[in-house]
A = this chain, B = another copy of it.
Amino acid sequence: MSHFAERLNHIAPFHVMELLARAKALQADGHDVIHMEIGEPDFTTPATIVEAGIAALQSGKTGYSPALGIPELREAISQFYKDKFGVNVPARRIVVTAGASGALMLALGALVSSGSEVLLTDPGYPCNRHFVRTLEGTPINIPVGPDSKYQLTVEDIAQYWTDKTVAALVASPANPTGTVLSQAEIQSLHQACAHKGGTLIVDEIYQGLTYGFEPQTALAISDDLFVINSFSKYFQMTGWRLGWMVVPDAYLDAVTRLAQNLFIAPPTPAQYAALAAFTPTTIEILESRRHIFAERKAALKPALLDIGFQIHADPQGAFYFYADCQHIAEDSYALAKNALEKAYVAITPGIDFGSHLASQHIRIAYTAETNILLAAAERLQKLIKQG
């Protein structure tokens, strides 16, 4: 006899991992697999950041940092908000975390009691609902579609908020859809949550990766919300596991206690490396990569539409298309398997992002060079034609 936690009945695997394992097996057999399935930039970390990490290791920065991060990095992030967005965010409210994953655990850990409800989008980043469930809360997965750019609306908040609801979590730019909330929309959502006596959490981990316009921050609207951010996506530091969070003053003590106990501290070498993330040289590298993402997006979109994918809301950020494939395939999971087995193209089935119309959607990441992306589109075109 063994005890398994009840939460395990609700915690789904990443289905794409099965596909990834199969993709690697195919590669080992000599097949040329094109990877468009993982939520990770194909660029390695900028050399300036890597060099700062190496210098930190060489100078013996291998011990624990303070639980909320090294003061220099919290100051640098504060300065970043001032320089880039003209927003004052005092360093004391900035909590450096073990990836955005760590930030989500801390924010939700401070808000969610047993039975608390948190409003989320379906489709959305799947870990969000699993964090809520791990903390014995109830994720409320609200079906969203093209009308709202796959984002929560004030009407959703009016409809789904109950006396058990403690927070709503939105992402801008969002995963898997890449859509962006305007400042006016975030303000409305914030007001709606505040009116209900609850908290708005804004996931800005794809901040910096917007195309055709400059990114913004919800912190320009209010201090009374949680903002989650990360060094993984725009700063391309995925493997270092470093993120941050901006916390309302009222929650600082709670988040500190949770951080001390659940994490001890975020990784130290990564924090010293990240000090180089905001220098002009690094930003120049990152901005040129952002332009590359924009070019890829512009090149791949018409190719996908040609094949018969539908993209109902143009992704203005991140590096994904969330494509409706109902005119191409019966089921997006079968399509993903087929694409891998027959065309050696790895893409992510909708089921990894929720259940609402999941079987007719697929996520395609433009995390390869443009010519490779177009080659993948050609392979998919051929596959679909063969039916």
Contact = CB atoms under 8 A, between A and B. Distances in A.
Interface stretch (A235-243, A303-311, A371-379): A235-243
A380 interface: no
Nearest to A255: B8
Interface in A32-73: 38, 40, 44-45, 50, 53-54, 57-58, 60-65, 67
A134 interface: yes
Given A44-B60, A257-B12, A166 B3 contact: yes
A221 interface: no
Contacts of A40: 63-64
A240 B264 CA distance: 11
A175 interface: no
Contacts of A98: 98, 241, 263
A198 B5 CA distance: 12
Interface stretch (A103-111, A151-159, A282-290): A103-111
Interface residues of A, number: 77
Contacts of A227: none
B111 A5 contact: yes
A250 interface: yes
A284 to B, nearest CB: 19
A267 interface: yes
Contact of A114 (B44, B114, B131): B114
Given A40-B63, A58-B54, A109-B134, A260 B4 contact: no
A19 to B, nearest CB: 13
Contacts of A13: 253, 256-257, 260
A270 interface: yes
A113 to B, nearest CB: 4
Contact of A8 (B11, B198, B236, B257): B257
A1 B126 CA distance: 29
A265 B267 CA distance: 13
Q: What is the copy number of this chain in the assembly?
A: 2
B254 A4 contact: yes
A301 interface: no
Contact of A5 (B38, B64, B113, B266): B113
Interface centre among A45, A112, A238, A261 (most CB of B within 10 A): A261
Contacts of A63: 40, 44, 238-239
B241 A266 contact: yes
A197 B2 CA distance: 6
A256 B264 CA distance: 22
A263 B136 CA distance: 18
Given A17-B67, A134-B135, A62 B45 contact: yes
Interface string A118-162: 000000001100110011100000000000000000000000000
A7 B61 contact: no
A29 interface: no
A264 B125 CA distance: 12
A237 B62 contact: yes
A207 interface: no
A116 interface: yes
A345 interface: no
Contacts of A130: 261-262
Contacts of A254: 4-5, 8
A268 interface: yes
A126 B261 contact: yes
A44 B269 CA distance: 13
A239 B96 CA distance: 14
A196 to B, nearest CB: 9
A199 interface: yes
A45 to B, nearest CB: 4
B99 A264 contact: yes
